[in-house]
Chains A and B, each alone.
Chain A
Amino acid sequence: MGALITKLKKSDFAEKITLMVAMVILVIVFTYMNPNYATSANMTNILVACSLAGFVAIGETMLIIANQNDLSAGSVAACAGVVAALLTQLGVPALVSIAIAVLLGCVVGAVNASLVTFLKLQPFIATLATMSVVRGFAYILCGGKAVAVSDKTFRMVGSYKVFGIISLPIVLLLIAFVVLGLVLAKTHFGRSIYVLGGNGYAARLAGLNPTSITFKLHILQSGLAAFAGVLLAARMNSGQPSACVGLEFDAITAAVLGGTAFTGGIGTIFGTFLGMLLLQGFNTGLNMIGVQIFWQEVAQGTLLVIALAFDYYRKRMRDKKLLAESMETRGIKIPKLSK
């Protein structure tokens, strides 16, 4: 237990606690306004809502840590949903359809990475372009109309209850969080991501291959986005070309809320998990207390600003702590300022 506490302290315990406290306050406030908020049915709803943006938030976190970004995730998700639905209509087995849709997502990721590494485009601009292109294809492929899903296996993917209680997308999301959290924290690849985001040039000189890391990250991210899109299509029983607008927005908000620094090099998957819960809890709450949809958009934007302001504040605190510790390490007293 003692070891666990020291370990928690190391991993920016205070930050995580702040997030958890924020969540508790959120639950209390919303429950006060609508008693149905704190029911297990609603909590499950929140988790289900997470299962869409959650996958993307994982990839987005890793990208932001490496000083990258992806705005095309929502389009990729929608397009993958449409593709998978169309394939099942053509009689392709459900799992094969899903695999193809995810693979196509990976191709988009590779394109994003190519634009960023070979054309040296800013990730924001490069993925802004693919966002538009891929969304266009989503509409073109289905002629602008939603594609109904009749394949039983495919529907099952979205609605199957593991042990008869938890729906499959939630389980898959939790697995993704754990596995990719470990990858980021414990593997050579994970370490490379932090190193690349902290100082890209030094990383290259140290013998890492930034191009390869960037490719892997974008391919992973777009693959995750496509998978999330397929799950949504399965849940909704249709692939909709207009789905998932602003999905990347939710993902970025969750990552930043969870402590990922926009300047790169800092962040954890667990933090993003907490950020995601907070965000979806907030969104669901707004819905339940009957806030008009337009005002919800305003609230979400405001939340992102708050998260970024929090990010700035954290950076200042970190710098301050670093300075103080550094002085302590070297036995230097900070002199008093005379006015």
Chain B
Amino acid sequence: MGNSVEFRNISKIFPGVKALDDISFKAESGQVYAFLGENGAGKSTLLKILNGDYQPDGGQYLINDMPIRFQTPKEALAHGVSVIYQERQILLDMTVAENVFLGDWPKGKFGEIDFEAMNQKTKEIATNFGLDIEPDMKVGMLSIAHQQMVEIMKAVVRDSKIIAFDEPTASLSDKEIDILFEIIERLKQEGKVIFYVSHRMNEIAQIAQKVIVFKDGTLVDVVDQATTSEDELIRLMVGRSLGDIFNGLPHNETFEEVLLEVDEMLTPYVNKVSFKIHKGEILGFAGLVGSGRTETMNALFGLNPMYSGKIILEGEEIRPKSPAEALEYGFAMVPEDRKMQGILPNISVRGNITISMLKKLINKIGFIKNGEEEIAQEMIQQLNIKTPNSDKLILQLSGGNQQKVILARWLKTNPKVLVLDEPTKGIDVGAKSEFYRIITECAQKGMAVIVISSELPEIIGISDRILVMREGRISGELLRKDFSEEQILKYAMASPDSEAV
């Protein structure tokens, strides 16, 4: 009993971002601390400092009032710190017991692994948790929830004093969440310090006693869960009401010309999706992660194969087989994962902007003509990209400016259809409002804009029409006058009565 974790003035810097700025708080046993904040607010970075994956660039980290400096997650583990991630760190081909004792298998007399002791101890813990898990089962055979329990058992077997959960319920069913919460409650009573990261307000209300609110790498406040309303928490998290940003964005009133029509598109991931989009329209795609929104766009963009169905652009049927072909037809896509799918890390800001239109800028023998710099400057001005010059590597810019560079790349191809997949993920509120302005301007100029977003206020704020997807199908369509979070959620979530087919 009586464990504590304290952070004093912790800072962490990455190229282009100050991920954590002067974070200080103390957490004690017997409480569950929820981390609340938008994507990129610094929650995950702090977890990674907690478990020794990252080293802070400044400040102090204390466990039980002793200053600590972990170089590796292994050291943190040895000092009783376990972080349980959304992506499970388990080996599917090993047994439950082997995973629970991973890397720390009990040894017999000759240094061989003592399977008997290992299985027995694992069984004990499982029984203690009320879990029906056999120690010698392959973990790959278990349900996702039980795999997560294996992670928790890993923490328990190492006698962890400090356990953090990073979005643990993302892929769990309600019943499984109940089991998880029971176990967390028990760990809490045993005197562990518990951190709990989640976007789900109702879960935080259910499990946490304290809420630590992060915004843009700073700690906004530590509040009591019981005495703070949900509205208040959101205000702390976002800083200002998003409504202010969306009011005053221009919207086209009428749409006449259908630009793109998708008819019964069937791919490995989406099931007979049909929709139309007009010139100058902003069409929002809502739905849960994995509902088929990105997959639909990937098929449009020639990234996923299309089994059947039609794509009709300006009255002509097309079938792009690669992004290069889609680009020729006038499609543009700002992808969801900026780092993996957008950024060309070793190339200057200029090169990142011009890459997709560079073909128009070469002479007969393939040499790049002058004028590249002018194009870069034009876009830097137009989108207000904050960079000292166009020679800087894109990695040196902040997240929002990196995203603007990617957008500039596509705008320079003069697209007819602009697809933006989670365009404001992980960028700050100021840059977000700039993005919304740019997006609506594109529509005003006659582009058809498709926005995929998981943030409901955002998609409601900027769309002219919203399509909701669920399990690879379009489950609902909403016109601007009918927009409401409740209605979108209803379409997005599987509800038992709508499944009667």
Contact = CB atoms under 8 A, between A and B. Distances in A.
A329 interface: yes
Interface string B340-354: 111111110001000
A323 B13 CA distance: 8
A215 to B, nearest CB: 14
Contact of B366 (A188, A206, A207): A188
B392 interface: yes
A187 B366 contact: yes
A161 interface: no
Interface stretch (B140-148, B162-170, B271-279, B322-330): B322-330
A302 interface: no
Contact of A205 (B60, B67, B341, B346): B341
Contacts of B356: 206-207
Contacts of A290: none
Interface string A249-276: 0000000000000000110000000000
A202 B69 CA distance: 37
Contacts of A132: none
Contact of B358 (A183, A191, A209, A334): A191
B387 A329 contact: yes
A338 B60 CA distance: 7
B396 A322 contact: yes
A195 B343 contact: no
Interface in B35-79: 56-60, 67, 69
Contacts of B60: 338
A325 interface: yes
A199 B340 contact: yes
Interface of chain A, main secondary structure: helix
B357 to A, nearest CB: 9
A44 interface: no
| Interface footprint category on B | 35 or more
Contacts of B387: 329
Contact of A206 (B11, B67, B303, B409): B409
A188 B359 contact: yes
Interface string A294-310: 00000000000000000
A338 B301 CA distance: 50
A204 B323 contact: yes
B492 to A, nearest CB: 26
A335 B11 contact: yes
A195 to B, nearest CB: 5
Nearest to B340: A201
A39 B483 CA distance: 84
A330 B342 contact: no
A326 interface: yes
Interface in B311-334: 322-324, 326-327, 333
Contacts of B324: 204, 207-209
B368 interface: yes
Contact of A336 (B58, B327, B335, B344): B58
A192 B451 CA distance: 29
Nearest to B361: A188
B7 to A, nearest CB: 12
Given A206-B323, A329-B396, A338 B333 contact: no
A206 B342 CA distance: 8
B345 A199 contact: yes
A337 interface: yes
Given A186-B367, A198-B347, A202-B344, A337 B16 contact: no
Contacts of A154: none
B355 interface: yes
A329 to B, nearest CB: 6
Interface in B352-404: 355-356, 358-359, 362, 365-368, 387-388, 391-393, 395-398
B457 interface: no
B15 interface: yes
Interface in A190-219: 191, 194-195, 197-199, 201-209
Contact of B327 (A183, A207, A335): A207
A326 B13 CA distance: 10
Among the interface residues B18, B60, B342, B396, which one has the most CB atoms of the partner chain A within 10 A? B396
A202 B409 contact: no
B462 to A, nearest CB: 23
A198 B367 contact: no
A201 to B, nearest CB: 6
A131 B351 CA distance: 36
Contacts of B58: 334-338
B59 A329 contact: no
Nearest to B22: A335
B342 A202 contact: yes
A220 to B, nearest CB: 13
Given A186-B368, A335-B11, A337-B57, A205 B333 contact: yes
Interface in A311-339: 319, 322-323, 325-327, 329-330, 332, 334-339
A187 B367 contact: yes
Contacts of A208: 324, 355
A314 to B, nearest CB: 13
B409 A194 contact: no
B96 to A, nearest CB: 33
Contact of A322 (B15, B326, B341, B362): B15
A325 B333 CA distance: 30
A198 B344 contact: yes
A94 to B, nearest CB: 29
Interface of B: 9, 11, 13-16, 18, 56-60, 67, 69, 301, 303, 322-324, 326-327, 333, 335, 340-347, 351, 355-356, 358-359, 362, 365-368, 387-388, 391-393, 395-398, 409, 413
Return the 7 tightest CB-CB contacts between A and B, nearest first: A335-B58, A265-B346, A207-B327, A326-B396, A198-B346, A187-B366, A326-B15
13 contacts: A183-B366, A188-B362, A189-B366, A199-B345, A202-B342, A204-B323, A205-B333, A205-B335, A326-B16, A326-B397, A334-B57, A337-B56, A339-B67
Given A188-B366, A202-B344, 6 more contacts: A186-B367, A189-B366, A198-B347, A202-B342, A204-B322, A206-B323
